[in-house]
Amino acid sequence: IFFPYFHTYFPLAFKNYVSNNQNNPHSQNKKNPNTTSKPPNLFCALSIRQVKINFLALDFDQTLISIHTGGRWKGTPTELLSHLRPVFSHLIRLASRQNIHIAIVTFSPQTNCIKSVLEEGFGTELAEYIPIRGNDRTWNYEGSGMRNGKQEHMASAAEELMSRPGFEADCGGGTNDGVIEDVRKDTTLLIDDDPNNIRLCLRDGTRAIWFNPKEPLGLLDCIMRLK
């Protein structure tokens, strides 16, 4: 399925990105499709700010990680971390440095486990800036927007981000460009492997990229092609 990606560029310099995964402690075996033995021909030096995206919402199962837990993971967070895709390991760090807000939006109820994965993978300081919205009954979206798909998950995460003191100034390691920006539909980008979530997202006026689990590095190709 091909989705029109509309006017979405992704920011970030991916120069020297995951070259042979030599510096990634969580990289997969070279036979795994999440890795590559060749440096990706994708050196993105475009800024997400050029298209006014300030909020990146990431699906978890089969997107951020390479497996689907079904919300029933029985192993340790460390074991689950071993399935973190290198493309997102770098993406999250680079996005935070560009003052891009990040959230995890998932149908999994195992949000505590996901939080532990983020803390182990990215450190507590960065992880604490990343809201997690899952089907764990710990949050409610009180707004009037669409509730289908990942829409209410993203809306609730955006509300939390904007309620934080100085949210516009720091995303867990980024630099403050001095511009105060609200998180809105047109400044949000969802990356998800579920085509239905993508359709609903686009229908609701939110930017989105369909992530192909079989071609993880294809995400960067899509980013380069977006306008």
Phi, psi for 94 (deg, rounded to 5): -65, -40
Give pLDDT tens digits along the chain (227 positions).
Answer: 334 333 333 333 343 444 344 344 444 444 454 444 333 323 443 445 667 788 999 999 999 999 999 999 999 999 999 999 998 998 888 888 878 899 999 999 999 999 999 999 999 999 999 999 999 999 999 888 999 999 999 999 999 999 988 665 555 555 445 454 789 998 899 999 999 999 999 999 999 999 999 999 888 777 666 66
**pLDDT in the model for residue 95:** 82
Of residues 42, 79, 48, 51, the one with CA closest to residue 171: 48
Element (H, E) at 132: strand 132-133
**pLDDT in the model for residue 165:** 82
* Total-model pTM: 0.79
